[in-house]
Amino acid sequence: MPKPSVAELRPVVHPPGVKDRRSGEHWGGRLYMREISLRITRQLANTRVTPNQLTYLMTLAGVLAAPALLVPGVWGAVLGVVAVQMYLLLDCVDGELARWKKQYSLAGVYLDRVGAYLCDAAVLVGFGLRAADLWGGGRIDWLWAFLGTLAALGAILIKAETDLVGVARHQNGMAPVKEAASEPRSSGVALARRAAAALKFHRLILGIEASLLILVLAVADQLRGDLFFSRLGVAVLAGIALLQTVLHLVSVLASSRLK
């Protein structure tokens, strides 16, 4: 059976709305990864590979970012970026293959969310351990490992706060939340949310953005000759994660999502 062409695949695996989802599609997917993933999906279209198998591989790639970041120097940061980019690629391909083969499952959706949790957490925990200087030969400063873990916990809690809205509504027999319901009812909270969205500082604790930041900081550390910039970065990300956890909870409670 011949492989489908890219022209045949595109309207099926990239239906209207996939690239335009407000909270579902990452900018990396819209900017470049969807065009790469489309070619990978074409190669897998007539194989026995299943979407869920790719989701398992996606999760593994994301988790591997943590040990990759433990490699000293810039190369560790490069390996971390590669692992997270593989995560993003497979995250695109598993959904595309599911749409092409019409192999949809609740397990696939669940596994996809678990993978997202683990990737973000792995990057931030790995960053904290990297800043603790495990292989430096001197005293290991566990403060940075703690702050990295704290940032990871915040990143997970933020995702959980969003996902638990759907859980609460389902358990009360309510329909899934509509996009308009996410707008805060308070004008003050709405203004704060728009300001945060414009600054986009909260995205720094997501795995993809965090891995790119870590690479920039690793280069700066290499030039300086120590881990000053990485440690500063860990502290900043921990602060962002804690602040965003509280702000996001307030945003959910101040919106109509639980009404």
* Domain with 63 in it: 6-254
Kindly indicate the confidence band of residue 258, based on its pLDDT and cuts at 50, 70 and 90: confident
Q: Going by C-beta distance under 8 Å and a sequence separation of 6 or more, which residues neighbour residue 170?
A: none
Higher pLDDT, 193 or 47: 47
Does residue 99 form part of some domain?
Answer: yes
Nearest to 42 by CA among 115, 92, 110: 92
Which 3 state secondary structure label does DSSP give 184? strand
Answer yes or no: is pLDDT of 186 > 70: no
Rounded-to-integer distance, Cα 108 and Cα 51, Å: 7
Does residue 259 form part of some domain?
Answer: no
pLDDT score at 183? 55
0.85 exceeded by pTM = yes
pLDDT score at 116? 95
Looking up residue 155, the CATH number of its domain turns out to be 1.20.120.1760
Burial class of residue 49 (count of CB atoms within 10 Å of its CB; 0-12, 13-18, 19+): middle
Which string of b and e fits 16-41 if b means at least 16 CB within 10 Å?
eebeeeeeebbebbeeebbeebbebb
pLDDT score at 201? 72
Phi, psi of 86 (to 5 degrees): -65, -40
pLDDT score at 19? 61
For residue 255, what is the DSSP state? Answer: B
Rounded-to-integer distance, Cα 217 and Cα 123, Å: 14
Answer yes or no: is pLDDT of 23 > 70: no
Answer yes or no: is pLDDT of 187 > 80: no
Rounded-to-integer distance, Cα 134 and Cα 184, Å: 44
Higher pLDDT, 2 or 20: 2
pLDDT, one tens digit per residue, over 71-87 is 999 999 999 999 999 99
Kindly indicate the confidence band of residue 179, based on its pLDDT and cuts at 50, 70 and 90: low
Higher pLDDT, 192 or 65: 65
Answer yes or no: is pLDDT of 39 > 70: yes
pLDDT score at 97? 96
Answer yes or no: is pLDDT of 180 > 90: no
Q: Going by C-beta distance under 8 Å and a sequence separation of 6 or more, which residues neighbour residue 57?
A: 90
Does residue 57 form part of some domain?
Answer: yes
pLDDT score at 15? 87
pLDDT, one tens digit per residue, over 89-148 is 999 999 999 999 999 899 999 999 999 999 999 999 999 999 999 887 778 899 999 999
Nearest to 131 by CA among 149, 157, 109, 113: 149
Rounded-to-integer distance, Cα 246 and Cα 243, Å: 5
Count structural domains, the chain: 1
Does residue 1 form part of some domain?
Answer: no
Q: Going by C-beta distance under 8 Å and a sequence separation of 6 or more, which residues neighbour residue 251?
A: 182, 184, 189, 193
Nearest to 81 by CA among 238, 180, 173, 214: 214
Average pLDDT over residues 228-237: 98
Tokens 């804690």 map to which residue?
A: 242
pLDDT score at 46? 93
Mean pLDDT of the chain: 89
Answer yes or no: is pLDDT of 192 > 70: no
Answer yes or no: is pLDDT of 70 > 90: yes
